[in-house]
A and B are shown apart, each in its own frame.
Chain A
Amino acid sequence: MRYLPLTPEDRTEMLGVIGVDSIDALFVDVPASAQRSGTVDLPLHAGELEVEREMAALARRNRAAGDGPFFCGAGAYRHHVPATVDHIIQRSEFLTSYTPYQPEIAQGTLQVLFEFQTQVAALTGMEVANASLYDGSTAAAEAVMMATRVTRRNKAVMSGGLHPHYVETVETLAHAAGVGTQRLAVAIDAEDAVIAAIDADTACVVVQTPNVFGTATDVTKIAAAAQAAGALLIVVTTEVVSLGLLKSPGEMGADIVVAEGQSIGNGLNFGGPYVGLFACKEKYIRQAPGRLCGETVDADGRRGFVLTLSTREQHIRRDKATSNICTNSGLCALAFSIHMSLLGEVGLRQLAAINHAKARALRDALAAVAGVEILTPRFFNEFAIRVPGNAAGIVETLAAHGVIAGVPFSRLDAKAGLDDVLLVAATETTLDIDITVFSKVLAKVIAQ
């Protein structure tokens, strides 16, 4: 077996050094009832060629986004990732290292995290950011829990534009921890409605911009209202490329910003692994979840970096920790950071402008299709349309014609009564011909 270096002779010799005569003697503490003599009922080992063949066969049964017209968004976006990114993250020293607990031999990872934290803080317009969380949805749940610690209040108000899967993720964690949640009625353009729901128990309001329908919102007023009432404003963004074009949540007064960072540096990967961005005002940092990297000096006085403020974390605080999180999303954060370094401010702004232009072109094309109504008033690269009939059915029909048309809202929330709403996204990867094909096929399917 190619991954196992020990030879039969090695094993015999090593057992001799240990002073036992068989490997079974090392498993002597396992109860007899659980001892198994043979192998479990699964196939035996296979060579690299056979494994690759089987995996390729499975992969072929999926329709890749790049295979044709493709318009899915709703929390995961298809962008072009420069080849350099994937090359660097496969370097042994990044790919096969552990959490940087020994900073003297982990400065590579640590400096990247310090740069990543700075990039995320700049992008979101916040003072500080952590070294990443699992993904945007779990980051949103962590942010809500943090707000309850900061305010010592016990209720979260979520807007009707927050991604329904994020709502469910927040509810899972909040309810387990005894924190109340209130989700406002699903609405395409009503993030402001959270203001009326703030009361003396409200720890935070959670709004999304651009929201799940793609609507971009100026949250300045929401921030002021929340803070006046002693609550925090948590702003969620699932499409970070939007921050190249739109005002940052920090500029608009957010207390905590969480984002799904997948769009930069990371592929679609059927939903994971992704990278949760988490940024906040500096005064709240000791209540923040997850790892933090900080600057310091070594014994020679040279600048270096270490994980810091660890007493918030589970391995020290145990049952009093700010979160149970142990890992971050290290390699995905590295991919984000490399891609962001390649883009720079110039590239990010241009990328964002292209995305917005593609989405406007898509809007214009779809608006011309008889029976289609554009629902989202202000958007970045994603918007909602109303189609005549069931959106999920139309998506299936279009898929049969080779067009992946977007995400039916009912897939995210079947109870909202929005079965005729379809979420569509366009990015720099969208070709003009894709838009033409989509609108033509859609027109044909609707006409039938």
Chain B
Amino acid sequence: MRFTKDHEWVAVEGDIATVGITAYAAEQLGDVVFVEVPDLGKTVKQGDGLAVVESVKAASDVYAPVSGEVVEANTALGDAPETVNAVPETGGWFARIKLSVPAEVEALMDRDAYEAFLSTL
């Protein structure tokens, strides 16, 4: 699993990257009440808005940590946004992206680097 400074995580299997927000981000956000997942087929570049996650008092853009095409979205979050709080780094994933620039993944932080980054906040 790789991480961004904007608190997204990426897990890659083959050329498919699963994307979500980190446990830290979910904690900071508070109770998630709504998630807007991307449409299938949407192409995103690294850093583009991918999804929107809302708590009662905040709406936050989730940025695409990698470039590619959205091949699957976690529509189950529509009825159960609390999943993002409960299991942010597993069942609370937002979308699966077919990588167009696989090298982007390697440049992201690994868990140790991300933990170290969190300790500076």
Taking the complex as a whole, does A directly touch B, i.e. does some CB pair lie under 8 Å apart? yes
Footprint of B on A, CB under 8 Å? 286, 308, 310-311, 316-317, 320
CA distance A320 to B57 in the complex (A): 14
Residues of B within 8 A of A317 (CB): 59
Residue of chain B at shortest CB distance from A320: B59
CA distance A320 to B49 in the complex (A): 13
CA distance A286 to B33 in the complex (A): 12
Interface presence of B114 (CB below 8 A): no
7 closest A-B pairs by beta carbon, nearest first, are A311-B59, A311-B54, A317-B59, A316-B59, A316-B58, A316-B57, A311-B58
**Which of B34, B58, B59 has the most A CB atoms < 10 Å from its CB?**
B59
Interface presence of B121 (CB below 8 A): no
CA distance A308 to B56 in the complex (A): 8
CA distance A310 to B58 in the complex (A): 9
**Which of B34, B55, B56, B58 has the most A CB atoms < 10 Å from its CB?**
B56
Can you sample 6 A-B contacts with CB below 8 Å?
A: A286-B34, A308-B56, A310-B57, A311-B56, A311-B58, A316-B57
Interface of B is mostly: strand
CA distance A310 to B33 in the complex (A): 11
Residues of A within 8 A of B56 (CB): 308, 310-311
Interface residues on B, range: under 10
Residue of chain A at shortest CB distance from B49: A320
Of the residues A311, A316, A320, contact of B34 by C-beta under 8 Å? A311
Residue of chain B at shortest CB distance from A308: B56
Residues of B within 8 A of A308 (CB): 56
Smallest CB–CB gap between A151 and chain B, Å?
Answer: 14
CA distance A317 to B36 in the complex (A): 15
CA distance A317 to B56 in the complex (A): 12
Residues of B within 8 A of A320 (CB): 59
CA distance A376 to B58 in the complex (A): 51
Smallest CB–CB gap between B81 and chain A, Å?
Answer: 12
Smallest CB–CB gap between A323 and chain B, Å?
Answer: 14
B:44-79 near A, CB below 8 Å: 54-59
CA distance A308 to B57 in the complex (A): 10
**Which of A310, A311, A317, A320 has the most B CB atoms < 10 Å from its CB?**
A311
Residues of B within 8 A of A316 (CB): 57-59
Smallest CB–CB gap between B31 and chain A, Å?
Answer: 12
Smallest CB–CB gap between B39 and chain A, Å?
Answer: 11
CA distance A311 to B58 in the complex (A): 6
Smallest CB–CB gap between A424 and chain B, Å?
Answer: 49
Smallest CB–CB gap between A292 and chain B, Å?
Answer: 13
CA distance A308 to B59 in the complex (A): 13
Smallest CB–CB gap between B59 and chain A, Å?
Answer: 4
Residues of A within 8 A of B59 (CB): 311, 316-317, 320
Residues of B within 8 A of A310 (CB): 56-57
B:4-62 near A, CB below 8 Å: 34, 54-59
Residues of B within 8 A of A311 (CB): 34, 54-59
Residues of A within 8 A of B54 (CB): 311
CA distance A311 to B36 in the complex (A): 12
CA distance A317 to B61 in the complex (A): 11
CA distance A65 to B34 in the complex (A): 50
Smallest CB–CB gap between A104 and chain B, Å?
Answer: 15
Residue of chain B at shortest CB distance from A312: B59
Residue of chain B at shortest CB distance from A286: B34
CA distance A357 to B56 in the complex (A): 50
Smallest CB–CB gap between A311 and chain B, Å?
Answer: 4
Residues of A within 8 A of B55 (CB): 311
CA distance A320 to B52 in the complex (A): 12
CA distance A374 to B54 in the complex (A): 55
Smallest CB–CB gap between B56 and chain A, Å?
Answer: 7
Smallest CB–CB gap between A287 and chain B, Å?
Answer: 11
CA distance A286 to B55 in the complex (A): 14
CA distance A308 to B31 in the complex (A): 14
Residue of chain A at shortest CB distance from B58: A316
Using A308-B56, A316-B58 as known contacts, list a sample of 7 further A-B pairs with CB atoms less than 8 Å apart, ordered by residue number in A: A310-B56, A310-B57, A311-B55, A311-B56, A316-B57, A316-B59, A320-B59
CA distance A311 to B54 in the complex (A): 7
Smallest CB–CB gap between A344 and chain B, Å?
Answer: 35
CA distance A320 to B60 in the complex (A): 11
CA distance A320 to B54 in the complex (A): 13
Residues of A within 8 A of B34 (CB): 286, 311
Residues of B within 8 A of A286 (CB): 34
CA distance A316 to B34 in the complex (A): 14
Residue of chain A at shortest CB distance from B59: A311
Residue of chain B at shortest CB distance from A307: B56
